[in-house]
Amino acid sequence: MRQITFQKVLQTDTVPFAELGDRAQTPDGRLWVYVKANEALVLHNALTRTANSDQDTLSSSTDGDGDEIFITQSGASFTAGEFEKAYGLIDAGTGSGQFFKIRTNNATQLTLFKDYALTTSLAVADSDAVIARPHLAEKTAITTLHQVPVGIAQVAFSANEYGWALERGMGAVLAGTALTANELTTPGDDTEGTLTNIGTDESMEDVSTFGRCVVANGTADESAMIDVNLL
């Protein structure tokens, strides 16, 4: 695994220093994942991934080697690179069931990694896809009990900046309530990007958990120490 300094995980980049989704370990053994901020993030925000992107009426085409690596949506207005390193699934119509990884994109076309070339051509009449960007991070939602935890920001991010989120080990998180030491933490507070105690009538199957509180915050909306465990 990549080794990285404490200094590097506590700074952000306007251009990527690593590949989205790369993982690294600091000298103390804590584990980090490289993400892009979909919005401004404050220090110690809990992070989840952005919503899936539905794309309809798709066609596909081949490169010079005959590999079907181009997916086009006529009339689309994608931002160049917005789906870089994202994953997709043809979820309806011709070619349904095909999984792929996107290398990059322009305004109307997705370019896949050649190892993920399609084996069945898509048809504008009925081929649809869903795209997931697991490392495009935003603050956890307020009321959704089941979310996909990405990590916890140990530094503030501006929108569209790149940086490292804590996946495993000791860190700090904003807590919307006074947490209880040794208890599991979960989203669900009244402020995005903050955690609260797991409910007395809830289990790990009922909610998404980020780890256990180690040192409780004194009052609501302050940072607590947490043993993050997302792996």
Q: What is the pLDDT of residues 3-17, one digit of tens each?
A: 999 999 999 999 999
Question: pLDDT-based confidence at 203, cuts 50/70/90?
Answer: low
Between CA 121 and CA 141 the distance in angstroms is: 37
pLDDT (0 to 100) of residue 204: 65
pLDDT of 174 strictly over 90: yes
Residue 201 has pLDDT above 70, yes or no: no
pLDDT, tens digit (0-9, with 9 covering 90-100), for 43-59: 999 999 999 999 999 99
Residue 99, Cβ neighbours under 10 Å: how many?
Answer: 10
Q: What is the pLDDT of residues 17-46, one digit of tens each?
A: 999 999 999 999 999 999 999 999 999 999
Q: What average pLDDT is seen over the chain? A: 94
Assign 13 to helix, strand or coil. strand
Q: What is the pTM of this model?
A: 0.91
